[in-house]
Every structure is written in C-alpha cells, then in structure tokens.
Amino acid sequence: MALTCSFSQAQTSPTPQQPYQASAPLSWELKNARWFDGRQIQKGNLYVENGVFVARKPAKVNRKMDLRGQQTLIPPLAEAHNHNLQTAWGWGQYADQYVDEGVFYAAMLCGDPAGVAEVKPLAATPAAPDVSFVTACITSPDGYPLAAVLPEPSAEAAAAQQQIVLVDSPEQARTQWPAIKARGGTWLRIVLAHSDRPELHQQPAMFGRLGLRPDTASELTRLAHAEGRRVVAHVETAADFDAALAAGVDAIAHLPGYANTLDEAPEVFAISESAAALAARQHTAVITTTAATALFKLDAASLTTLREVQRANLARLQAAGVQLLVGSDVFIGTARAELHALADLGLDRATLLRLASQDTPRVLFPKRKIGCFEPGCEASFLLLGDNPLTDLATLDMPMLRVKQGRLLTRLADVAASSSQAEASTADPPKKAATKKKAGSAKAKPASKAKRR
C-alpha cells in the first residue's frame, strides 16, 4: 500500500483554494528581528533589497515591520524525497501545499523526462517551490517501483513502460548508458532492495519489489561519476545500505527500517557502527523518510519495533557524523510530516530545524546561498508566531512567507499592491501639528532663535 501511495495519482486532493501569487521583489526593513541561525536564535535588524539580505537599510523601503515580541524568522524548509511534483497533475494538486507549509525546496526522485518537461515551466514561476528533478530512475527488470506504477505488473508491461530504466547486469548498464545519460539531470536514482537475497528474483510474488544486483549498482555509479553526475540509492535493509556504500553512491534514500514489507527480523535493518563510519568518511548523505512508515498501517507492536530500529539507526548515524537530509516520501504530504516524525523519534529541535532549513536545501541546490540571513543570502524566510525551539508546533502555522524578497500570498490584490508605499508597523504614527491661536505668543528674538 505504501508503494502505491508514493506514485499513484488517485489520491485525495487538498481542498481547492486560491493559488499562491508573488509580489514584485520588495525592499524590507525588519526591526527587532529574531532569527534561527542553525544553532540558536539571533536578534537584531535585518534588511532586504533586490531579493537578498543586505547590511544596510535600503534607500527605499516597501515594507517596514517591527518584530518585537516572540515572532521568529526561520529559513524555508526542504523536502529531499517525494514524487508528488514530478507530473503536471501532481503539481496542480500539491505545489501550493508546499508553499503553504513553508517548504520552498524539493527533490522529486523518479520522474520521466516527458512528464518533468511539462512541470519545469510551472516550477520556474516566482510563487512556486524550487524543485530538483531526477529523470533517470533505474531498477532491475522485476524491481521496485514497477509493482506500483504498472496497472498489471508483468515482465511485458515492465518492458513497455517508459518511466523506469531496467538494467540487469553491469554489461547492460554500459550498453544502456548513452540512453540513461540522454534522460538528463545531474542525479540518477538506483534501486537496491533485498540485494543480498538473489533467490527472491525467482519468486513471482516478489515481482516489482526488488532491485539491482550490487555489481550493477557499482557500475552505474562509476559511469555516473565519470560524467560528473551524482547518485542516490533507494535501500530497504542494512545489507542494501552496505551495498550502496560499496558502490560509492552520494546519498541513500530511506533509513533502513522505514518499512518491513517482508516481515523480517528487526536486526535486518540495523545499521552497523562500521557502516555508519564508512558513510561519514565517504560523505554519503542519508534521507530519513521515517514519516512514510505510517503509510503501512502496522499494528502497535510492529510499529513500536520498527520505530526502535529507526531511533537506533538515527543515533548511530548522528554519532558517526553522517549528513542527514529531511525527506518524507509521503505522496500527500511534505517535509513537515517528516519533521514531526523525527521529533517523535527524539531528534532535538535545533538539529531538526538545521537539517530541514539549512543542510537539506543546500544539498539540493549547492550553488545557491540559501538557508541563512547574512548579507548576500537569498532573502527567503518564514515568519512564525513563536520560537520553534520551544514549540515545534509553531511551524504548522507560518504567519508570513517570503521568497527572494517577494511576499507570497493567496490574495491577488495584496500581491499586486505590495510594492507601493504602505503604512509601517515599525514607526509610531506621527502627531499632527497644532496651530497656535493668533496673538497668543510673541515672536522670539532673532538672536535666540539663532542660538537654538
């Protein structure tokens, strides 16, 4: 069921609302601001001009705000693993949900080139989330996610579909590499699922749920790196995690233990200390996806067991210094679901906010200066009603959304008029001058007036 949730377009849609619109780029003066710097809350005045933070107050300010109080600014959030924005249909259903939840950056990990080509113009608009698309998604001829994307899973239907590239050996990887490269993108995704159990490939019930051989994964990674491309590997078990590290991938999608579709023993998903240390040495990032566990509707005992495995794996990866990335793989959700899932697993709030608002967006868009408030950083931020380090629930109700200096709003008239002069919330209203009654005061001597 969870596999279908990741790819199916027959999902319950959010209630239709007015779409988000972006104002013109505004100059901002944010007095008495409080903002999250990746570790703690800083205080001071912030200024925005031409879409970036600047050191001094702009000559012309469109928006003045006095944020004295508990309001807090944080960078927008990022979603490192989803599939709901990689088709035009999905974009229409969920793009505004990303903006609404303060998720301005996302990675879609298995789109086909034709579908993504329809979405890219939509993603290029000012009020849209910024999206990195993976258009080369590679698995075995009987591998994941074929069972989810095919109406009738079969070898014939798998061979006929165009979304997933099917590769069966290192030799076939080399033969198909020109076609894989032609799909475009700077990343490719490979699938490792129960890679240490080759006997499963002979079982019809396992069709569409397996993945590449470890040697095929290694060859695809070698070919990608030779072309300057990066590789993210889908994994299910700790053995898959080890195979991904042996292949030299750049990121691993899924914390082992996010699911247990074969009802295996908990130790099958336990990452070893040596594997965690190797991931840290190789700078291999791990996308968490613990929120996806809720899609499997497990009984209480099974869910508790799986959550304990996840908690132990997270602790081991953190202790080794492995880069964690926030991703949910929840088709009807965003990274906000993953933030709350990780909080339930015990990650502290400062770490959670840093992962979601700094580390993850910078991995998705490494050439941009995002997730910061220093001069030169993109002026994208959320205004929250309280300090999220003391109350994480405040993330669920952003009071203001600003992307590269533009106010994002569902109110078209507000978006259109925001660049005009407006009343300031930062300065007290000026008192009207009172006229003195004629003859009630004598003129002061010129000498005294001059001394003043």
Q: How many other β-carbons are positioned within 10 Å of the β-carbon of residue 320?
A: 17
Q: How many other β-carbons are positioned within 10 Å of the β-carbon of residue 351?
A: 16
What the block records as the tokens of 320 is: 């080794």
CA–chain centroid gap for 401, Å, is 16
- What is the identity of the amino acid at 360? T
Overall average pLDDT of the 395-407 stretch: 97
Question: What phi and psi values does residue 55 have, to the nearest 5 degrees?
Answer: -80, -25
Is residue 10 pLDDT above 80, yes or no?
Answer: no
The rounded distance, in Å, linking the Cα atoms of 71 and 32 is: 10
Q: What is the pLDDT of residue 431?
A: 56
Is residue 451 pLDDT above 90, yes or no?
Answer: no
Instruction: Tell which residue, 305, 318, 327, has the closest CA to residue 346.
Output: 318
Overall average pLDDT of the 359-387 stretch: 97
Q: What is the pLDDT of residue 179?
A: 96
Is residue 417 pLDDT above 90, yes or no?
Answer: no
Domains of the chain, residue spans: 2-9+73-381
The residue ranking higher by pLDDT, 122 or 69, is: 122
Q: What is the pLDDT of residue 168?
A: 96
Q: How confident is the model at residue 420 (pLDDT cuts 50, 70, 90)?
A: low
Overall average pLDDT of the 348-359 stretch: 98
Overall average pLDDT of the 60-69 stretch: 93
Tens of pLDDT, residues 30-63: 999 999 999 999 999 999 999 999 999 999 999 9
The residue ranking higher by pLDDT, 4 or 195, is: 195
**CATH class given for the domain over 2-9+73-381:** alpha beta
The rounded distance, in Å, linking the Cα atoms of 224 and 228 is: 6
Average pLDDT of the chain, as a whole number:
91
Question: What phi and psi values does residue 61 have, to the nearest 5 degrees?
Answer: -115, 125
Q: What is the pLDDT of residue 6?
A: 43
Alpha carbon separation from 399 to 72, 343, 344, 428 (Å, rounded): 10, 22, 24, 22
Host H or E run for residue 317: helix 300-320
Q: What is the pLDDT of residue 415?
A: 75
Q: Which residues of 52-204 form beta strands (DSSP E)?
A: 52-54, 63-66, 72-74, 77-82, 103-108, 130-133, 137-139, 165-166, 187-191
Give me the percent of the chain exceeding a pLDDT of 70.
89
What the block records as the tokens of 157 is: 């239907």
Q: How confident is the model at residue 248 (pLDDT cuts 50, 70, 90)?
A: very high
Q: What is the pLDDT of residue 446?
A: 43
Is residue 380 pLDDT above 80, yes or no?
Answer: yes
What the block records as the tokens of 62 is: 């469109």
Overall average pLDDT of the 299-320 stretch: 97
Is residue 419 pLDDT above 80, yes or no?
Answer: no
Is residue 272 pLDDT above 60, yes or no?
Answer: yes
Q: How confident is the model at residue 426 (pLDDT cuts 50, 70, 90)?
A: low
Rg (CA), the chain: 26
The rounded distance, in Å, linking the Cα atoms of 254 and 359 is: 17
Q: Which residues pair with 28 in a beta bridge?
A: 48, 63
Q: How confident is the model at residue 139 (pLDDT cuts 50, 70, 90)?
A: very high
Angle at 358 between CA 279 and CA 59, to 5 degrees: 155
